[in-house]
Structure 1
Amino acid sequence: MDDNAFSAEDADSMRAYMPTSFGKQNASVDVQAQIENHRRKIVDESKPPPKIKSADSDDESSAEDDDDSDEDDEDEFPVSHELMVKTHQRAVTSITLDPSGTRLVTGSTDCTIKLHDLSAMTPTTIRAFKTVDPFVTKASEASESHAIHQVLFSPHSGNQMLVITATAQARLFSRDGEMIAEYKKGDMYLRDKNNTKGHTAEITSAAWCPTNRNLFVTAAHDSTVRIWDVNDRLQQKHVMVHKSKAAGSAGMTRMTAIAWGHAAEGQGSIIVAAGFDGSLVMWGGEGPFYRPIGEIREAHAKDTWTSGLDISNDGRLVITRGGDDTIKLWDTRKFKAPVNTTSFPSTSSQYPTSNIIFSPGSANVVTGSETGHLHILNPATLRPELITPVTPGSPLISVHWHPKIKQICTGSANGQTTILFNPQMSTNGALSVLSKAPKKRHMDDDPNLTTFMDPTGIAGDAVTPGGVPGPTAGSFSSRHPTIGLTASGRSRDPRRPHKPEQTPFAMSTPDQRHVRENIPFSSMRDEDPVEALLKYQPKEGEEKLFTGAWDKTQPKAIFKEDFSDEEEPDPKRMKKG
């Protein structure tokens, strides 16, 4: 045997000596301890607290059984742990996740939507990576702003999301926040709503088709429900005009909520919409759309806002949350009277997008309350199976239960987004965030301890030769344009003067220098017109250049020209004479 042969023991020694990867390595992190730090103190307020055993009690087996039963109750729903995300300054009105559960998007009354990448977050970088204003495009700045009513990822593909604002136009965005299409607005002066090519009033709610990835439906204040094709932004595909039969409505009412789900027994799909007149209307998802297949005139109280509406997975049940402080369960096969009703305080008067949904598998009903609690109800009895505080004192507006990662996302009136999960049953999502090592904070991450200097020694951005401000090479402010600025947009460096924001109108208005240099005779507007004319008056002995012809052609006056030296005639004497 050759003494120089490379043995297996040598290979193991070499492997232990050589590094497995290059670059600076993070210290090992205790993932279990990091997850345990996010355990919630109170999980269920609907059940009494566990009894405290005395120290001299010998019934240890019964205590262990009680602990096991409590843990089983907690593991039934993914609410044992929480991850808080504070991004919006106002109420979070809508929340959605893509089908894979990695892209979280929230909408708010601050007129913006925020995009979060759960797969890229770390415990110290829990924030949105992009903020989108639906009314700002690459070609122009925002001329108006409206609250976000609803944000919906397509259930078939995570590449598209529907954004509903307080306008008559729906907008389609990519998963990266780029606007793909803005759908047509109808002519508000046409009386017949069937002849308009889009909504003529504010859209309140929308839903994706469960069977066709290219279709979605919208409901609006113009008493219509419209089906759209994502590839045709110039006109809707179908129009359903809801003719209200309520007294004093003149046949029109505002549509407040809508849902599109599978029909019972696998027979296509159904569309269910709620109206401000208290009605609940159902159409077949494949048509014809001339008349509804079911209608309940007094499903909820008249002139109350039904904010929540959802259809079960099997298409047999419909759950509604009305503005009359009730939650009602309906059977689509006997669409006449509610199967069950329970009292539940409404928040639709202040937050009209407060929703209610079925859990994955339709085993439970989930909604939020005005006290900031999450309620998980039994659909058969509508009694609470779990009541857990999320944002106590701040109403819980929107809820979303993702079927793949098994986590519940909530949005509250204080602008907080909360992700509830359970390490035993949940996957990815918040768990992937807490499974990473915290990112070490750099001094540049704190704007109070950082001064940004350009090559000329002046803090902030440099000015290019063309006069357009641009970031300096390698400056930190080019990578983080908002760091180093106050809330009003002023620089934190006192040596840098405040640059006023240029409005869209000012961008299209020429300045004084441009007018003086490029428009001929523009300086004449600053002259006195009397002096400008008198400079052309000829001096004594000079020929009149402009008015010389008048001396030859001007007729002689036959009336007196000046009556200043004579007394004015008395009109009374002239009448007597």
Structure 2
Amino acid sequence: MNDSDDYQVDEPVIAADDHMRQYMPASFGKKSKEANFAAQIEQSRRQVEKPLAPKRALSDASDSDDDDDSDDSEDEDKFPVSHELVLHTHERAVTTVTLDPAGGRLLSGSLDGTVKFHDFAAMTPTTLRAFKSVDPWEAKKSSALPESHPIQHLEFSKHSGSVFLCITAHPQAKLMSRDGAIETEFVKGDMYLRDMNNTKGHVGEISTGAWHPTDQYLFVTAGSDSTLRIWDINNKRSQRDVIAFKSKVIGTAGRTRMTAVAWGTPAQGGSPVLMAAALDGSLVMYSGNGPFNRPAAEIRDAHKADSWTGGIDISADGRMVVTRGGDGLIKLWDTRKFKEPLVKVEHASTSDRFPMTNIKYSPNSSCIITGSVSGDLHVLNPGNLRPELVTPITPGAPLIVVDWHPKLNQIVTGSANSETRVLYNPTMSHRGALEVMSRAPKKRHIDDDPSITTDVTAGLSADLIITPGAKRNNLTASGKSNDPRRPQVKQITPFMRSQPDEKHISENIPLSRMLHEDPREALLKYADVAKKDPMFTNAWKDTQPVTQYAEVSDDEDGPDKKKTKR
């Protein structure tokens, strides 16, 4: 047959809706599997249930439908919230998230006391997991105190991103490398000193912290000992400056808990601004360059007393400040007229359960984002605090923490249902989650099944015995348990693996029969031989005396039998 001749290949007759059609080859030779990236990105589109619109007249129905469709499309184009990437890596509520300046690494902290490391360059649509899990206090755990400290705040350094600040429910702050190693552990103060200016560190739990906007070596921490402390990363023995806040509320003895802190500076240059909120409802402002002897301005009743103001942020120009208090209010302040709020709106607070709830400006300060009790993401207008977009993220679970990365143009959220979500838009966002969804899925391997082998992500081995109610994150690097309440894994030896039978042992192992032989009987076999042919006493065999024993009957006493005393 020539190449020019027409030929026809007979195909099996299979119905179009038959499931066997997907197993039949469509062509000859090896086929290369190529991922449909557009379909993968489309699968990550968020399915948002739209609330039912109120009934209107039939004449207005067509007009309202057109308006709703246009508004929805404009919201998706204006904010990067059309698609999402979901990470299930924690066991409890996610309380803090941070991205490095380049946007390649994502860290998340939780109430379970662990920090999860996610690398966008290593994830694929089928491998959405953390490549590392670190407990900052694992080295100091003991059998008496096996619990970890909740992670309060994580934040990468603003310049290099080589280290990040780790704040836990403890008086000592930690500086850790981007790979999870502890670089510096700052000192704890002396709790028996009354004057907080004389202590070299916090004597109470640290609530949060923030990096200096321009100096890469400085950061500030806010503690429950009524102080703000400025630290130099090159000196862990003592803080650089101490700001002892004195509360004016009667009955507090001049002390209160510092709940939030923010450090900002104008983008075009100028003096930095240090803002802090206290549990007594006060809001104080300091000059960012010092001295910090007294605040530049102070508002006593900024929020309701004894309510936790966990959210505070400064705009990009350093003029506007937004706060979210535990009294259910969001307030907007002007640093140039720092007396009364410009605008205040009602917004339900979650600080009673999760004091880490925050509020953030967008990178260009064109909007403000925060979470809600119902799990919605609120995008607010920076001028009047009216919602420009309200979209559900985790319905039914409070949205605790939010962050907007300037380089990726993506929003990261952490919720009470232990989910970390990365919101993005394919037309607006760059790299990050978009790059993950643009990769081919990784082929499944037998090592990816935690029931067959050790899964490093879960930290659990298939042959490990777990007691009911035991923790799963208390493991060493080798996968063994640190918890003394867990039973130890039995050592598997080569002898136990093969389990040879008795015949195999007797034929292949020399002198193996001696294991089951009576040693006394083995020695008595040589008694007659030693008597007839002695090897060591042969020299005096003929002159060896014979032992003589007296013969005594049963009814007679022996010659030396002593009488019994009466």
Displacement of 1:249 in angstroms is 1.1
Whole-angstrom CA distance in 2 between matches of 1:221 and 1:344: 25
Q: Map residues 321-400 of structure 1 onto 2, 5 A cutoff.
A: 321-400=324-403
Displacement of 1:139 in angstroms is 11
Cα deviation code 1:280-306 (max 9, x no counterpart): 011111111100001000000111100
What's the RMSD between the two structures over aligned residues?
3.1
Which range is displaced more, 360-369 or 258-267? 258-267
User: Is 1:136 the equivalent of 2:138?
Assistant: yes
Displacement of 1:407 in angstroms is 0.4
The residue number in structure 1 matching 2:202 is 199
What percent identity do the matched residue pairs reach?
54
* Bigger radius of gyration among the two: 2
Displacement of 1:500 in angstroms is 8.8
Whole-angstrom CA distance in 2 between matches of 1:25 and 1:157: 45
Contact 2:138-2:148 at 8 Å conserved across structures:
no
Q: Find 1:415's aligned residue among 415, 418, 431.
A: 418
User: Is 1:270 the equivalent of 2:273?
Assistant: yes
Q: Find 1:83's aligned residue among 85, 88, 110.
A: 85
Structure 2 stretches of 5 or more lacking a match?
1-29, 469-478, 487-566
Displacement of 1:106 in angstroms is 0.2
The residue number in structure 2 matching 1:482 is 460
Contact 1:265-1:315 at 8 Å conserved across structures:
no
The residue number in structure 2 matching 1:181 is 184
User: Is 1:216 the equivalent of 2:219?
Assistant: yes
Q: Find 2:47's aligned residue among 30, 34, 41.
A: 41
- What is the SS of the residue equivalent to 1:33? helix
Which range is displaced more, 231-240 or 65-74? 65-74
Which range is displaced more, 134-143 or 297-306? 134-143
Contact 2:175-2:184 at 8 Å conserved across structures:
yes
Whole-angstrom CA distance in 1 between matches of 2:253 and 2:458: 55
Displacement of 1:479 in angstroms is 11
Whole-angstrom CA distance in 2 between matches of 1:389 and 1:500: 41
Q: Find 1:436's aligned residue among 433, 436, 439.
A: 439
Letter in 2 for 1:134: P
CA change 1:485–1:170 in 2 (3 A) is farther
Number of residue equivalences: 445
Contact 1:162-1:170 at 8 Å conserved across structures:
yes
Contact 2:146-2:483 at 8 Å conserved across structures:
no
Q: Map residues 518-529 of structure 1 onto 2, 5 A cutoff.
A: none
The residue number in structure 2 matching 1:307 is 310
What TM-score do the two structures reach when normalised by structure 2? 0.73
Letter in 2 for 1:211: T
Whole-angstrom CA distance in 2 between matches of 1:327 and 1:167: 28
- What is the SS of the residue equivalent to 1:119? helix
Contact 2:83-2:424 at 8 Å conserved across structures:
yes
Letter in 2 for 1:91: A
CA change 1:481–1:408 in 2 (3 A) is closer
- What is the SS of the residue equivalent to 1:388? strand
Letter in 2 for 1:217: V
The residue number in structure 1 matching 2:292 is 289
Displacement of 1:71 in angstroms is 2.0
- What is the SS of the residue equivalent to 1:444? helix
Q: Find 2:155's aligned residue among 146, 152, 155.
A: 152
Displacement of 1:138 in angstroms is 10
Contact 1:307-1:323 at 8 Å conserved across structures:
yes
Q: Find 2:76's aligned residue among 61, 74, 87.
A: 74
Cα deviation code 1:385-404 (max 9, x no counterpart): 00000000000000010010
Letter in 1 for 2:259: T
Contact 2:378-2:391 at 8 Å conserved across structures:
yes
Structure 1 stretches of 5 or more lacking a match?
1-23, 453-475, 491-498, 507-577
Cα deviation code 1:71-93 (max 9, x no counterpart): 23311000001111011110000
- What is the SS of the residue equivalent to 1:226? strand
What TM-score do the two structures reach when normalised by structure 1? 0.72
Contact 1:172-1:181 at 8 Å conserved across structures:
yes
Cα deviation code 1:269-290 (max 9, x no counterpart): 0110000000001111111110
- What is the SS of the residue equivalent to 1:71? helix
Cα deviation code 1:106-157 (max 9, x no counterpart): 0000011100001110001000000000012499998652100000011111
Whole-angstrom CA distance in 1 between matches of 2:481 and 2:128: 30
The residue number in structure 2 matching 1:108 is 110
Displacement of 1:35 in angstroms is 0.3
CA change 1:479–1:318 in 2 (3 A) is closer
CA change 1:175–1:322 in 2 (3 A) is same
Whole-angstrom CA distance in 1 between matches of 2:215 and 2:427: 35
Which range is displaced more, 160-169 or 141-150? 141-150
Displacement of 1:209 in angstroms is 0.2
The residue number in structure 1 matching 2:518 is none
Contact 1:43-1:388 at 8 Å conserved across structures:
no
Whole-angstrom CA distance in 2 between matches of 1:366 and 1:377: 6
Whole-angstrom CA distance in 2 between matches of 1:29 and 1:500: 39
Cα deviation code 1:152-186 (max 9, x no counterpart): 01111111100000000100001111110000100
Whole-angstrom CA distance in 1 between matches of 2:264 and 2:96: 19
CA change 1:485–1:346 in 2 (3 A) is farther
Cα deviation code 1:185-206 (max 9, x no counterpart): 0000000000000001000010
The residue number in structure 2 matching 1:258 is 261
Cα deviation code 1:325-351 (max 9, x no counterpart): 000000011111001000000000100
Whole-angstrom CA distance in 2 between matches of 1:351 and 1:478: 29
- What is the SS of the residue equivalent to 2:138? coil
Whole-angstrom CA distance in 1 between matches of 2:417 and 2:334: 36
CA change 1:108–1:49 in 2 (3 A) is farther
Q: Find 2:36's aligned residue among 24, 30, 34.
A: 30
CA change 1:441–1:197 in 2 (3 A) is same
Contact 1:149-1:166 at 8 Å conserved across structures:
yes
Letter in 1 for 2:98: T
Letter in 2 for 1:28: E
